[in-house]
A and B are shown apart, each in its own frame.
Chain A
Amino acid sequence: MEDFITFFSFQDPNIRYVVAGSILIAVSSAIVGCFTFLKKKALVGDAVAHSVLPGICLSFILTGTKNPIYIIIGAFVTGWISLILIDYITRFSKIKEDTAIGLILSVFFGIGVLLLTMIQHNGNASQTGLDSFLFGKAAALVGYDLLIFSIISIILLLAVILFFKEFTLISFDENFAKSIGFPVKRLELVLTTLTVLAVVTGIQAVGVVLMAAMLITPSAAAKFWTNKLNIMLILAAVFAAFSSISGAFISFTSPSMPTGPWIVMVISIIALTSFFFAPRHGILYNIIKQRSIKKRILHENILKLFYQLGERENDFNASRSIDNILEKRTIKLGALKPGLRHLTKQGFLSKNKNFWTLTTEGKTKGQRIVKLHRLWEVYLTKYLRIAPDHVHEDADNIEHFLTPELEKRLENLLNYPESDPHSSAIPYDQITS
Chain B
Amino acid sequence: MIVNVENPVLEIHDLTVTYSRKPVLWGVDLTLPKGSLVGIIGPNGAGKSTLIKAAMDLIPKSSGWVEIFGEDLKKVRKKISYVPQRESVDWDFPASVRDVVVMGRYADIGLFKRPRKADYEAADYALKQVKLSEFSNRQISQLSGGQQQRVFLARALAQQADLYFMDEPFAGVDAATEKAIINILKQMSEQGKTVVVVHHDLQTVTKYFDWLVQLNTRLVASGPIEQVFTQELLQETYGGKLTLLSDVSTLMHTQQLPVRDKT
Contacts and interface: CB of A to CB of B under 8 A. Distances in A.
B114 A176 contact: no
**From A38, A163, A181, A229, residue with most partner B Cβ within 10 Å:** A181
Interface stretch (B35-43, B105-113, B168-176, B209-217): B105-113
Contact of B56 (A178, A223, A226): A178
B95 A179 contact: no
Interface string B98-139: 011001001101011111000000000000000000000001
B4 interface: no
Contacts of A358: none
B63 interface: no
A178 B57 CA distance: 8
Given A165-B106, A180-B106, A229-B95, A172 B112 contact: no
Contacts of A180: 77-78, 106-107, 159
Contacts of B90: 40, 172
Contact of A226 (B94, B99, B106): B94
Contact of B107 (A181, A183, A227): A181
B53 interface: yes
A169 B110 CA distance: 12
A169 B94 contact: no
Interface string A158-190: 000011011011011101111111110000000
Interface string B51-84: 0010011100000000000000010011011101
B82 A175 contact: yes
A228 interface: yes
A173 B77 contact: no
A215 interface: no
B96 A179 contact: no
Contact of B112 (A38, A166, A169, A173): A166
Contact of B74 (A179, A181, A229): A181
Contact of B58 (A166, A169, A178, A183): A178
Interface in B135-180: 139, 141-142, 155, 159
23 contacts: A38-B93, A38-B94, A40-B90, A163-B112, A165-B109, A165-B114, A169-B106, A173-B84, A173-B89, A175-B53, A176-B82, A176-B84, A176-B155, A178-B56, A179-B56, A180-B78, A227-B94, A227-B139, A227-B141, A227-B142, A228-B94, A228-B95, A228-B96
A223 B82 CA distance: 29
Contacts of B74: 181
Interface string B225-249: 0000000000000000000000000
Max chain B Cβ within 10 angstroms of own Cβ: one of A38, A171, A176:
A176
B93 A172 contact: yes
Contacts of A226: 94
Interface of B: 53, 56-58, 74, 77-78, 80-82, 84, 88-90, 93-96, 99-100, 103, 106-107, 109, 111-115, 139, 141-142, 155, 159
**Secondary structure of the A contact surface, majority rule:** helix
A232 interface: yes
A222 to B, nearest CB: 9
A169 B102 CA distance: 11
Contacts of A181: 74, 77-78, 107
Contact of A182 (B56, B106, B114, B142): B106
Contacts of B109: 165
Given A172-B89, A173-B88, A179 B94 contact: no
Nearest to A183: B111
A176 B56 CA distance: 10
Contacts of A223: 94
Contacts of A172: 89-90, 93, 95, 100, 103
Contacts of B103: 169, 172-173, 176
Residue among B78, B109, B112, B155 with the highest chain A CB neighbour number at 10 A: B112
Given A173-B88, A175-B84, A182 B93 contact: no
Given A165-B114, A178-B58, A180-B106, A171 B93 contact: yes
B111 A166 contact: yes
B107 A168 contact: no
A173 B95 CA distance: 12
Contacts of B111: 166, 182-183
Contacts of A173: 84, 88-89, 103
A61 B235 CA distance: 71
Interface string A34-60: 000010100000000000000000000
